[in-house]
A and B are shown apart, each in its own frame.
Chain A
Amino acid sequence: MQDFVQHLINGIGLGSIYALIALGYTMVYGILQMINFAHSDVYMIGAFAAYYVAKWTGLEQHPGVGSLMIILVSSIVVCGILGILIERLAYRPLRKAPKLNILITAIGVSLFLEYSGQVVFGADPKVFPDILMDSNLFNLAGVEIKTLDFTVLTVGILSVLFLNFVIYKTKIGKAMRSVSINPSVAAMLGVNTDRIITFTFVIGSALAAIGSVLVGMKYPKIDPLMGMMIGLKAFVAAVLGGIGSLSGAVLGAMIMGLSEEMVVAYLSSTYRDALAFGILILILIFRPAGLLGKYNVEKV
């Protein structure tokens, strides 16, 4: 029983990470109806940005919450700028193009970031610095819950609450919702669609940055291809929960994390990736709108 609880904790830990990244995917899809393949690589850049900032400023010698904040902020800034650049240079020219072209371009951007990362950072994995000493927070039925896992979970929940607040209770949120419903009408009504889209990308990238720093602290190995699998699974999580829905993304992510943990524990680790795709296929065939999504009827 104790092990099962431990697996539960592990699974929720995994799920929280997927949630942070899935939120980015779901937001961009909600606004632009495109899958931003490059999102997972923005996440990877965030991890490396944090790594290099820690290295160059010598912060890795001074672990603590203060250093963590500095690294987190720098990572967010770098990712935000990267998100803006990608949107501006790669996606904006293709806004009027068929969906397929944007998809291919997104793949291109993703590959470009991965391989440039390998060239610039070197393909060997790096070790993320110890910024925060991990410790036991409390004991639950003989199972230890670590500070780090708890932090990731809390940050995930806070992000969802924050996003919900922004999207449903603020003016800019209203603008975002209008752009996602119909961009041309929104533009006619005075919404600066370009600005809104950029804003969406910035928020998504910031979340990815936070996710990457937290993951870096938990799993210290970082390399230029680290985003690939995590990104795909987070995307599946977003689809599972209903793409375009924030709470859906979190729900989907939790389910993904827990099921992955169980599969590895009770079956074999080689199935962990196939599980993600299996879930994706099942969902798309049986309930394409996702668990919490709405089904849109296509009109001729």
Chain B
Amino acid sequence: MTFNTKSNYKVDQGATEGDAVACSLQTALGDRSTNDGIRSNRHWYKKIFLSLLVVMPVMVGCTKKEDEIVIGQYGSLTGSEATFGISTDRGVRMAFDEINEKGGIKGKKIKLITLDDQGKADEAASAVTRLITQNKVIALLGEVASGRSKAAAPIAQQNKIPMISPSSTNPDVTKVGDYIFRVCFIDPFQGFVMAKFASENLKAKKAAVLRDVKSDYSVGLADTFVKEFKKMGGEIVSDSSYQGQQDIDFKAQLTEIRSKTPDVIFVPGYYTEVGMIAQQSRQLGIQTPLLGGDGWDSPKLHEIGKEAINGNYFSNHYTTESTDPNVIGFIKKYKEKYSVTPDGLAALGYDAARILADAITRSDLSPKSIRDEVAKTKDFLGVTGKITINEQRDAVKSAVVVKVDGPERKFVTTVAP
């Protein structure tokens, strides 16, 4: 039962060995050396650590080799949308590796620098700033989630670095400026696709909507679905929300939905919450089919949703059951390299990377001319379809609707724009 009063007292009074102000920490630690000999040794390491900290920022800058083409990628490699970032990254890497094996672009190898934004918009903005100012990339790939693309796009636009999003579907993303592109369809189309599927294929008259209020993508897609479904004569009986990356209990919203007896429930969110929503809806006895968008596309969907998620439908960018030789070849190569079947994100990452590389080949390696060449992309044969970049810098493509069957996705139908 020792009363440790002396420490406080001593710091106020005592002046022991010390150096300059910057080393006042040193002094504080030096105080204790009179008590305990071992401790001063431990503090020695702290001094070195601290001086390293001061020196590190200088060392942080990268060395840039002249014979490399530096491209930056930012994505959610961790967090509740981790599979998006990881899949996209794999697709991108595969594309660039193929190109580098063939000698690169104009004789130079592509160097890809990938930063993790942890699924947060702030981090995305910060990552992109870092890539542009510190790593001096000449083009950017990212992001999957529209919310994060929207946060980062103004920075790319301001610095005049072209940015290609592989799978952000919210229309606002490319509206930020003429340096922002995407290689996927946009949500006004996707909402239409699912509304059409609901009313024509499933003959649904009443729909309930459960949206992720934290995601631009989810809110935008929900809005267009509501609009299109109503245009087709349907009725929206319930429109509720949840907080993505946070909520784990959806029983309250689902109970309300249950009482309105809809024919379908539209859940345009991301796979982690969708899986849980499916489970909880079945637990509440709701047997209505669930519909969704490409945010469902993840190998983890089935892991989280288990049996509950089977038999539900979502719209996506490509199907693994395609008969196109291009697609079959891509799937085979991807499986060999990563031992899993590629999902839509990987396919889009692959296409985005190849379109970027294609544009760089035609350019003079300045960001402006890369930007111009990307805008000229026409009829590019991607694994997600034939890609033409239109004046709004979006891609005009078809969507497929697939049905969830365990880890597989059964093709149901294609909808053209």
B240 engages A269 (CB within 8 Å): yes
Interface residues of B in 1-27 (CB under 8 A from A): 1, 3-4
Select from chain A the residue with minimum beta-carbon distance to B8.
A97
For window 302-356 of B, CB contacts with A under 8 Å fall at 303-304, 306
Contact B256 A221 (CB under 8 A): no
3 tightest Cβ-Cβ pairs between the two chains A and B: A264-B252, A123-B78, A265-B252
A220 close to B (CB within 8 Å): yes
B377, CB-defined interface residue at 8 Å: no
Residues A6 and B284 in contact, CB atoms below 8 Å apart: yes
Residues of A within 8 A of B255 (CB): 3, 6-7, 10, 265
Query: Any chain A CB within 8 A of the CB of B80?
Result: yes
Nearest CB in chain A to that of B259: its residue: A3
Query: When A96-B4, A229-B246, A268-B241 are in contact, do A125 and B80 touch as well, CB less than 8 Å?
Result: yes
Q: How far does the Cβ of B258 sit from chain A's closest Cβ, in whole Å?
A: 7
A146 at the interface (CB under 8 A from B): yes
With known contacts A3-B259, A124-B80, A10–B251 Cβ distance under 8 A: yes
Contact B279 A220 (CB under 8 A): yes
Confirm or deny: B248 has a beta carbon within 8 angstroms of a beta carbon on chain A.
yes
**Cβ of B79 < 8 Å from any Cβ of A?**
yes
The closest CB in chain B to the CB of A144 belongs to: B285
CB distance from A54 to the nearest CB of B (A): 15
18 contacts between A and B (CB under 8 A): A3-B259, A10-B251, A122-B78, A124-B83, A127-B303, A127-B304, A146-B283, A220-B304, A221-B276, A226-B248, A229-B246, A264-B253, A268-B240, A269-B243, A269-B247, A270-B241, A270-B243, A272-B247
A: residues with CB less than 8 A from B are: 2-3, 6-7, 10, 14, 96, 118, 122-125, 127, 130, 134, 144, 146, 187, 219-221, 223, 226, 229, 261-262, 264-265, 268-270, 272
A300 nearest CB across to chain B (Å): 23
Residue B118 at the A interface, CB < 8 A?
yes
Asked whether B242 is an interface residue with its Cβ less than 8 Å from the other chain, the reply is: yes
Q: Hey, what's the 0/1 contact readout for B221-262 against A, CB within 8 Å counting as 1?
A: 000000000000000000011110011110111011011000
Residues of A within 8 A of B4 (CB): 96
Q: For the complex formed, measure the closest distance between the CB of A1 and the CB atoms of chain B, giving whole angstroms.
A: 10
**B144: min CB distance to chain A, Å:** 15
Q: Is B121 an interface residue (CB 8 A)?
A: no
**Which residues from B are CB-within-8-Å of A130?**
306
Give Cα A219 to B279, complex, Å. Answer: 9
User: A97's closest neighbor in chain B, by CB?
Assistant: B4
Q: Specify which chain B residues have a CB less than 8 angstroms from the CB of A127 in the assembled complex.
A: 300, 303-304
- Evaluate contact between A3 and B241: CB separation under 8 angstroms: no
Among A124, A229, A265, point to the contact of B78 (Cβ < 8 A).
Answer: A124
Query: Are A270 and B78 neighbours in the complex by a CB distance under 8 Å?
Result: no
Please tell me if the beta carbons of B252 and A10 are within 8 angstroms of each other in the complex: yes
Query: Contact size class for B?
Result: 35 or more
Could you say which residues of chain B place their CB within 8 Å of the CB of A220? 276, 279, 304
Please, how many angstroms separate the alpha-carbon atoms of A14 and B258 in the complex? 20
Known: A219-B276, A269-B242. 9 other contacts (CB 8 A): A3-B258, A6-B255, A118-B78, A219-B249, A221-B276, A265-B253, A269-B213, A269-B252, A272-B247
| Chain A: minimal CB distance from B260 (Å) | 10
Which residue of chain B lies nearest to A148 when distances are taken between CB atoms in the complex?
B283
Q: Which residues of B contact A10 (CB under 8 A)?
A: 249, 251-252, 255
B272 at the A/B interface (Cβ < 8 Å)? yes
Q: What residues on B are CB-neighbors of A134 within 8 Å?
A: 283
Q: Report how far A123 CA is from B256 CA in the complex, Å.
A: 32
Alpha-carbon gap, A65 to B126, bound state (A): 48
Q: Which residues of A contact B80 (CB under 8 A)?
A: 124-125, 223
Q: Name the CB-closest residue of B to A228.
A: B246
Bound: A6/B258 CA distance, A: 11
A57 to B252, CA, bound (A): 36
Q: A221: which of B1, B253, B258, B272 is its contact (CB, 8 Å)? A: B272
Report whether A14 and B249 are in contact in the complex, using a CB–CB cutoff of 8 Å: yes
B81 to chain A, nearest CB (A): 9
Across the interface, do A269 and B253 meet the contact criterion of CB distance under 8 Å?
yes
Q: Do A123 and B243 form a contact, CB below 8 Å, given A3-B255, A146-B283, A264-B253?
A: no
0 or 1 for each of B71-82: is its CB under 8 Å from A? (1 = yes)? 000000011101
Tell me the minimal C-beta distance from A284 to chain B in angstroms: 25
CA distance A14 to B259 in the complex (A): 21
Cα distance A146–B279 when bound, in Å?
A: 14
* A36 to B: closest C-beta gap in Å: 22
Nearest Cβ on chain A to B262's Cβ, whole angstroms: 15
Kindly name the residue among B249, B259, B285 whose own CB sees the greatest number of chain A CB atoms within 10 A.
Answer: B249
Q: How far is the CB of A96 from chain B (nearest CB, A)?
A: 6
Question: For residue B2, which residue of chain A has the nearest CB?
Answer: A96
Residues of B within 8 A of A96 (CB): 3-4
A247 to B407, CA, bound (A): 47
Q: Which residue of B lies closest to A194 (CB)?
A: B1
Do the beta carbons of B82 and A221 come within 8 Å of each other?
A: no
User: How many Å lie between the Cα of A119 and that of B391 in the bound state?
Assistant: 44
Residues of A with C-beta under 8 A to B1: 187
- What CA separation (Å) do A286 and B134 show in the bound complex? 53
Interchain CB contact under 8 A, A124 and B82: yes
Complex Cα distance, B243 from A270, in Å, reads: 7
* Chain A residues whose CB sits within 8 angstroms of the CB of B83 once the complex forms: 124
Residue on A nearest B3 in the bound complex, by CB: A96
Q: Give complex CA distance A10, B254 in Å.
A: 11
Nearest A residue to B5 via CB reads A96
| Closest Cβ–Cβ distance, residue B239 to chain A (whole Å) | 11
| A2 to B251 Cα, complex, angstroms | 14
**Residues of chain A within 8 A of B303, CB atoms compared:** 127
Please tell me if the beta carbons of A261 and B246 are within 8 angstroms of each other in the complex.
no
A262 surroundings in chain B (CB, below 8 A): 252
Min CB gap A51→B, angstroms? 13
Output the least CB separation between A268 and chain B (Å). 6
Closest chain B CB from A287 CB (angstroms):
28
Q: Contacts A3-B258, A269-B242, A269-B243; is A123 near B253 (CB within 8 Å)?
A: no
Min CB–CB distance A290 → chain B (angstroms): 25
Q: Which residues of A contact B246 (CB under 8 A)?
A: 229
| Residue interface mask B270-311, A partner, CB < 8 A = 1 | 001000100100011100000000000000100110100000
CA–CA, A168 and B224, complex, Å: 61
Q: Among A2, A125, A146, which residue has the most Cβ atoms of chain B within 10 A?
A: A125
Across the interface, B241 reaches (CB within 8 A) one of A122, A221, A269, namely A269
Q: Which has the most chain B C-beta neighbours within 10 Å: A262, A264, A268? A: A264
Cα distance A219–B283 in the bound complex, in angstroms:
12
Complex contacts, A3 vs chain B, CB 8 Å: 255-256, 258-259
